[in-house]
Every structure is written in C-alpha cells, then in structure tokens.
Structure 1
Amino acid sequence: MLNTTNTALILVAAGALHFGYRYVRSYLEIERIRKMENAEEPPSDPDEGLLGIAIYRRMAKDQGEHVFLEEQTKLYERLGDTYKANLFGRPFIDTRDPENIKAILSTQFEQFSLGESRLDAFHPMLGDGIFTHVYGGGPKGEPWRHSRAMLRPQFAKQQIQDLENLEGFVQTLISRIPGNETCDLQELFFRLSMDTEICMLRSLLGDLYFLQKDGREFKQISAFVKEYIDRFTYKALQLHADGKPTSYDANGKYIFLEEISKSIKDPVRLRSELLNILLAGRDTTASLLAICFHQLARHKDVWNQLRNEIMENIGHRHPTYEDIKSLKYLKYVLNETLRLFPVVPWNGREAVVTTTLPRGGGPDGKSKIVVKKGTFVFYSPWSLHRSKFYGEDANEFKPSRWETLRPAWNYIPFNGGPRICLGQQYALTEASYVVIRLLQAFKDIDNRDPIEPFIEHTTLTLSSHTGTKVALTPA
C-alpha cells in the first residue's frame, strides 16, 4: 500500500512539475515577444465573472432577446475596438479593428486557423469539406487548399454569367407573391435553406460543444440530412459510372453536383463538399435578398431610384450579365445592405502560434498586443461596418454613400485574404438578378411590419426576426 501511495505521489508531483514547466516556458515566451514587439495589454471586459461564465450567460441572453450584435457593438464603444476576456476559463480577444482583421485573415493568415472546436461543432453534419478544414497554412492546410482548388472552377466566370437557371426560380417566386397583399418575402427566400441554428450554439460553446442540450436532436438531424443528400450524390456518381454525359456536357443545364462529381468519386467526401457549399451559399444569398427588401420597404426613395435605374436601362426584358454590371445604384444598394447587415455578422480564428496583432494595446489602443497560442480571436463585421469610419450616420441605410467610399479592410461582407468567399461574385450576380426581376414585376412596395427597426436573428447567418413582411403592387 505504501509503495502504491508513493508511486501516486511521485506521478502527481511529476505531473505538477511538467505543467509548471510548460506554464513558465509559455510565460517567458510571451514576455519575450511582448518586450521585442513593444506590445501592451488590451482592456479587459470587467463583467466576465468567474471563469467567464457570466459572459456566456450574457451572450445566450442577448441572442435569445435578439440583441446579441447590438450589445456587442456597445461593448466596443465602451471598451475600445479590441478587448480581452475569457469564456469558461479560456481567454479570447474580441476586435473590430480593421488592421487586426487584416492580420488575422491575410497578412498573418498562416498563424491562425478556424479552430478545432469549429471542426467538432460542424463535422457531425458537414463532414470533411472546405468549410470544416480548419487549417489554411502549413502541411495541415493541404486539405483546405485542395478543396478550394477543386471548387474554384465551379465558380468560373462562364458559370456566373449563366443566368438562365435563375429565371425558373424567379418565376416560381413571383407566382407565390400575392399582389397588394401581405406576404413574408424572407420566408420565400429561405424556403429551401438549411437550419443552422444548432451548429451556431455548438460553435459558441467551443471546446464544450458537447454540452449543447439538443445533442441527440443534432445527431438525428445530421443523419437525416446525410441520408437525403446521399440520394442525389449516388445518382451523380452512377451517371459517371455508366459513362453518360452530364447535363452540361450534353449542352443542357449546368448542374453543380454532376460537374463536381467528375473530380470526387468518394461518396462520403462528395456529400461533405456539397453540404459545405450548400451551407455557405444558400442561407447567405437568401439573407441578403430578404434584408435588402426589408430595407427597401422602409426607404421608398431608394426603391424608386433603384426601379427607375432598372426600367431606364433594361425595361422589362431579362437582364444580361453585362446589364447587371452596368447598374451602379443596384450595386450601391447591395453594398449598403451588406454593410449594415453582413450575412455572417460574427466570426473568429484561433492562434496556432503565439504571435501579435497590430493594435489594441495601451491607453490609446494603438500598441501591439500579444496573442497566446490557442487564444480565440473573434471579429465582428457587423460592428466594424458600423464604426465611425462611415461617419456619424453610420447606422443609417444610405446607398448613396457608396458613390465615394473606398473602404478596403473596413468592409468585409465576404471575409478577406486567402479564405475570401469563393462564391462572392456568384452570390452578388444571383441577388442582383432576383432584385431586377422583382422590381420589373412590381412597381411599388409597402411595409406591412408594425415593428419599424430591424430586429436581428443570428444563427450562422443573419436574418430579420420579424421577417420581411411587405405588400408588392404588380406592374
């Protein structure tokens, strides 16, 4: 018994020495970098409570009350554009400083990953794909680089310019809009989208994602989604196995699944890549369209100017890709929608090495800050886009501001750097086409929502909590 006790004590002591050594080594490394880079500490969130549990409760409460992004912006205004806190004892940094965001997404890209917790949160449903490959740099980044290289041709210019496939969708949409009667356009835009709310909660919990209370439901949903998608992936693979041409090869419609299955023969990987693209694309475009019309209904002057531009340049004919590129005010309207209401309003990266960020430290927030390996850095496009860079009227929907704006890293609706959204031009083209066709079909819009301001609903993407309730007058 004595020998067993002694052995246990020796193991405990050895473990304590090991962790103590690692702590001291990490501390010395951080201090070395701090002195070398003249880095200073960012302000701290004073209300984090024990182990940051209060922060999680506050976040959950704010999300439940649909003020998560609004309250986050107030924190920046109170603490500064960059501050630190901890969540369940794990330190994190929150920033809306464009220089820090530029570093995370671009100039120091290989020093940050999406975070292992993101893989744990999303992998059960999405599998291995461009959205769940968390590393972009070094040998670990090869799967992501391979997925991106494989998917990039699917968003080539000729595919973006092929607008015929959209027309059938638009006509179905128009047929479901009752003239001069209240309808919810958001519901129509999102009808074919996936429900991503559970993924959002799992992601927010980080390493403790397994505590998400609907874990069993999440597994059931994941299984259903996989089974449903597999019906289509196996058909596509069988098409190639039988030596038959794809629809596009036979001069028919371009079908993404048929084309991508030329490169991917593993059914599980094919399903995963397809789910990753569906998640990244469907909700984001639907969000942009729904919120755009939400704002048009509340700004009739913008509606009138936009419709005049469309009718004067296109009339009632189907718009071409060249038409879409030529409509400046339409571009301003979509830019302003994405500025005030970025479809992915909140994001983050995890430091894979101990490094620094350009700003946030010291009394004036202009000194560098040290970011310890494993620290998660959240950044908020929503708050960034509402900063004073855009003037005192930053919270107002004002498309005309884009006549002179050149925002660079103050505007990141599609992220930036090597992971910038592959489908950016496709999404903007699709949204532009739908807006044009609807404004050709309807000459006026009325707001039918008694709640005037935008009330946020945040999952992985942003939408209006009250929908987009409008009445459209047929042309």
Structure 2
Amino acid sequence: MGIFAVDGVSWSHSRALLRPSFDRTNVSDLGQLEEFMKIFFSRIDELPIQSFAHARAVELQELFQCLTMDSSTNFLFGNPIGALASRKYTLGNGEMTFDQAFDIAQYGLAMRAPLSSFYWLYNGAEFRKACSTARTQAALYVSRTLRKLNLAEKSEGKKYVFLEELAERTQDPQVLQDQVLSVMLAGRDTTAALLSWTFLCLAKYPEVFKKLRAEISEVVGVDEDARLPTQAELRGMVYLRWIIQEVLRLYPPVPINARRALRATTLPYGGGPDGNSPISIRKGERIVYSAFSLHRRTDIYGPDAGEFRPERWGEEALRGIGWSWLPFNGGPRICLGQQMALTHASYFITRIMQVYKEITPQDSALEGDAYDTKLVMASGRGVHVFLS
C-alpha cells in the first residue's frame, strides 16, 4: 500500500523509499514546465475577447487542474496525459479517461474518510470502476518502466522521471503502483488549489497584483521583456513567497488532518477552563485538528487574521512561526513534496503574471469565499476572472 495508507515500520520504509526522489535537484526542471505553460496560454487565447471588458473571461480553476494533472503525470510517469490539450487518454474501452477516473476515485476517497472503519459502506460501481481504471493505467506505466530498466534504458537525454528513479530502489510492481498513485493523490489537486486561491486573491486585491507584477518585472521582466525565470530567481522573489505563504495560511489545501496516538501521552495545553491545562490522550485515540482554524487565530496572526495581507510575513511578529503554520504539516511526517509544490506554483504564477497586465474578478468571484472541500479544499465557485 502507498505511504498514506500505512503506519509504523511500513510507513518508515515507504518514506525512505520516496525521499531520494524528491531531492531539490530532481524537482527543478523548469524547462518541462514551460511546455505545459505554452499549451495553457494557447487554451486561454482560444477564448473570445469580451468587448465590454477588452479581456478574456476565464475559469482558471479547471485549467489549473488540467495543468497540474499534466505536470504531475509527466514528472511521475515521464509522459503527460494531455489533459490541458483536451486529448482524452483512454484504455481501449472508450468509457473513462484516466483523469476522469482519478477525479471520481478521489471523490470516493473523500466520501470514505469520515466513515473511518466503516469506509467500505461507500463502494458504488462507478467508484470501483474508477479505481480499477486508474490502477490499470498506473500498472501500464510501471510495466513499461520495469521493462526499460531490464534493458538498461532510461528516458532520452537527462529527463528526470520519478517512476524510473523509484524503480532503481524496488522492482516490486505493486509497491511502485501504490507509491506513485499516492504521490499523485497528494500533489496534483493540492497545487491546483494553491494556484486557484492565489489568482482569486490577486483578482480581488489589485494592489497586491500590481506589487507582485512589479517585483516580477524587476527580476525577470514582463511582456516583451520577459524571460524564463530560474529556480534561484524564483526563490529570491520575496513578495511572491509572502503571497504564497498567505494563500496557504488562509486556504490550506488540506484544511483538516488527524493523527492517532501510538502510546498514552499528553498535549501540553488546550484543556481546563482557560485552555492552558494539559490534555490526556489515551493510546489509540484519534486527534483531529484544523489547520484552517489554526491559521486564522487572532492570538497568533493578529486582529486581521481573517484578511488577506501578504505583508504580514515580513513583520517581526511572524518570525519563527513554527507549528502555527502547517500547510505541509511538520515533524517526521512533513510533506516530502513541499519543495516541488512551491517550485511549480512559483513558476506557474510568475509566467502568468509576465503575460497578463490585469486580472479582474467576474461577478461570481466577488460573492465571498465558497469552499469545495473533499480531500483538498478548492474554491466552491471556481475562479472566474477576466485576463488582459
């Protein structure tokens, strides 16, 4: 089973198996990301210009889900499935594409999560078929990778392929299939959600948009003067980092998580009338915590904790924020894909900002936040904006 379905020794083995594949040098091939950006821009250019706004009306959330599906499958399998280009990838039955199957299976997992040990009650025919379709496609990629490994072949050039690197450490087809699907489950929609909430905020806060575009213009240029950013340049853009941190604070992709106690223990505070006394935790007890609520606490982030204000991350009060900011969790189970997610998101944001001078919200984007929370917290209304 994948890393998210096991504990103890099995979890330690899975993490040790996956960790080398997320080395910083393995997730920084920005050239491959640019190929997807070209298709992304072409999809937007196909849309008609709204004469009254002199801009194109775009629903970005759906496009971001396609973008991250292609970038994820390219990173994991060595080939994108063509979600951005609307080229449907089928398995010969003509009934369900891989991206459709993945979405249906993910929705089913979200429905199963609250059922805990009664998860098996949610087991409809469509869900089972979606799981089978996704696993069949992953198995084909695994089989192809093992065949290349046996022939001492690797992808042409120096292209990094996660599955090929993983197969250097284990040739068990079931392990490879489970792990690669687990990584995809963790990385695809979380990055799409981060991008979606970021551009929703940029549309609502034009001064933040202008300030970010000015920083990007200074570092890598915009419009006709734009050049592709390097990873070092992306890391050096302070305001871009503040915006991403603020989006992850207000809209953590995984807003609720849980842990189970391996032994009897205590939490240092949270109990008693004033909330400052320890809480006893019995062995096996399940603790559910909300990063969404934690990130909006006024005693940590100030009286404006519910507001989008990236500048707070440059203030002394948030230095050493530690365990009060947990979009990637922390400790031994901190997200292995954190660097990859931040690199990809930073690149995609920068490239879009280099091309478009203005982003304004459509009416639906101004109606307040709406949340579509399954395994990942997306915008319940999408991201409907005008781009020009």
Q: TM-score, normalising length from structure 1?
A: 0.69
Count of residue pairs brought into register by the alignment = 336
**Which of 207, 227, 241 lines up with 2:136 in the alignment?**
227
CA distance in 2, matches of 1:156, 1:207: 35
Aligned-pair CA distance for 1:162: 2.1
Q: 2:5: which partner in 1?
A: 132
Q: Does the 8 Å CA contact 2:268/2:277 hold for their aligned counterparts? A: yes
Q: 2:228: which partner in 1?
A: 318
Percent identity between matched residues is 43
1:431 aligns with 2:329: no
Aligned-pair CA distance for 1:341: 0.2
Aligned-pair CA distance for 1:262: 1.7
Q: 1:472: which partner in 2?
A: 387
Equivalence map 1:169-188=2 (5 Å): 169-178=36-45, 180-188=55-63
Residue deviations 1:122-161 (CA, integer Å, cap 9, x gap): xxxxxx121212x2xxxxx222112212211111121233
**Which of 160, 176, 191 lines up with 2:27 in the alignment?**
160
Q: 2:149: which partner in 1?
A: 240
CA distance in 2, matches of 1:381, 1:320: 31
1:395 aligns with 2:306: yes
1:262 aligns with 2:262: no
Q: 1:372: which partner in 2?
A: 282
Q: Does the 8 Å CA contact 1:283/1:461 hold for their aligned counterparts? A: yes
Q: C-alpha root-mean-square deviation of aligned residues, in Å?
A: 1.4
CA distance in 2, matches of 1:153, 1:290: 29
Q: 1:60: which partner in 2?
A: none
Q: Which amino acid letter does the alignment assign opposite residue 401 of structure 1?
A: R
CA distance in 2, matches of 1:217, 1:165: 34
Q: Return 5+ residue gaps in structure 2 as ranges.
A: 50-54, 70-98
Equivalence map 1:214-363=2 (5 Å): 214-244=123-153, 246-247=154-155, 250-315=156-221, 316-363=226-273
1:463 aligns with 2:378: yes
1:450 aligns with 2:337: no
Aligned-pair CA distance for 1:264: 2.1
Q: Which amino acid letter does the alignment assign opposite residue 278 of structure 1?
A: M
Q: Which amino acid letter does the alignment assign opposite residue 351 of structure 1?
A: A
Aligned-pair CA distance for 1:253: 1.5
Q: 1:97: which partner in 2?
A: none
Q: Which amino acid letter does the alignment assign opposite residue 371 of structure 2?
A: E
Q: Which amino acid letter does the alignment assign opposite residue 210 of structure 1?
A: W
State the SS of the aligned residue for 2:270.
Answer: strand
Q: Does the 8 Å CA contact 1:449/1:468 hold for their aligned counterparts? A: no
Residue deviations 1:158-203 (CA, integer Å, cap 9, x gap): 1233211111111111111136221111001112363222111211
Residue deviations 1:43-73 (CA, integer Å, cap 9, x gap): xxxxxxxxxxxxxxxxxxxxxxxxxxxxxxx
Aligned-pair CA distance for 1:258: 1.8
CA distance in 1, matches of 2:262, 2:124: 28
CA distance in 2, matches of 1:264, 1:289: 34
Aligned-pair CA distance for 1:454: 1.5
State the SS of the aligned residue for 1:243.
Answer: coil
CA distance in 2, matches of 1:374, 1:159: 37
CA distance in 1, matches of 2:263, 2:16: 26
State the SS of the aligned residue for 1:271.
Answer: helix
Aligned-pair CA distance for 1:353: 2.4
The answer to which of 175-184 and 320-329 deviates more is 175-184
CA distance in 2, matches of 1:143, 1:354: 22
CA distance in 2, matches of 1:431, 1:360: 35
State the SS of the aligned residue for 1:131.
Answer: helix
Q: Does the 8 Å CA contact 1:356/1:368 hold for their aligned counterparts? A: yes
Residue deviations 1:60-119 (CA, integer Å, cap 9, x gap): xxxxxxxxxxxxxxxxxxxxxxxxxxxxxxxxxxxxxxxxxxxxxxxxxxxxxxxxxxxx
CA distance in 1, matches of 2:380, 2:140: 33
Q: 1:209: which partner in 2?
A: 119
The answer to which of 379-388 and 441-450 deviates more is 441-450
Q: Does the 8 Å CA contact 1:358/1:369 hold for their aligned counterparts? A: yes
Q: Does the 8 Å CA contact 1:292/1:337 hold for their aligned counterparts? A: yes
Aligned-pair CA distance for 1:355: 2.1
Q: 1:124: which partner in 2?
A: none
CA distance in 2, matches of 1:413, 1:451: 24
**Structure 1: 4+ residue segments shifted above 6 A:** none
Residue deviations 1:409-466 (CA, integer Å, cap 9, x gap): 1101100000000111111011000000001111111111424212011011110011
Q: Which amino acid letter does the alignment assign opposite residue 225 of structure 1?
A: A
CA distance in 2, matches of 1:382, 1:355: 25
CA distance in 2, matches of 1:447, 1:148: 41
Q: Which amino acid letter does the alignment assign opposite residue 176 of structure 2?
A: L
State the SS of the aligned residue for 1:396.
Answer: coil
CA distance in 1, matches of 2:363, 2:172: 48
State the SS of the aligned residue for 1:349.
Answer: strand
Q: Return 5+ residue gaps in structure 1 as ranges.
A: 1-127, 136-140
Q: Which amino acid letter does the alignment assign opposite residue 437 of structure 1?
A: R
CA distance in 1, matches of 2:375, 2:363: 24
Whose relative contact order is higher, 1 or 2, with alpha carbons under 8 Å and at least 6 apart?
A: 1
State the SS of the aligned residue for 1:297.
Answer: helix
